[in-house]
Amino acid sequence: MTPIDTANAPAAIGPYSQAMRIGDLLFVSGQLPIDPATGEFASADALGQMRQCLKNIAAIAEAAGTDLSRTVKTTILLSDLSGFAELNEEYGKAFQAPFPARACYEVSALPKGALVEIEAVIGC
């Protein structure tokens, strides 16, 4: 296993790696909408937070020598599913067919009060 770490995505806020590569797969930890340049949320709204989560995943994938086009599976955690249609449209802009497998859940709370968190499995 090889840990992946990049300054172009937020540092882990606990005892975990940004991502771990094993074989031809990259397992990206749940990414919060933190702008790595400021250490703050990139946006106060869920749509902007989703964009930043995806940017963070893309930066980690790049650090591992791959990219979002090789995403196999994502898991999206939302604090409120009521805006799902708008978020789903934004998510769709990050990927092309065939789209990755995906799960999406509403949760009661996310770290640091985030509205969105996304994790991914990406082929290398």
* Active centre residues (catalytic): 104
Q: How far apart are CA 82 and CA 78, in angstroms?
A: 10
CA nearest neighbour of 85 among 104, 68, 98: 104
Residue found under tokens 């009661």: 108
Q: Residue 110 and residue 117: Cα distance in Å, rounded?
A: 7
Looking at residue 56, its amino acid is N
Between CA 96 and CA 81 the distance in angstroms is 23
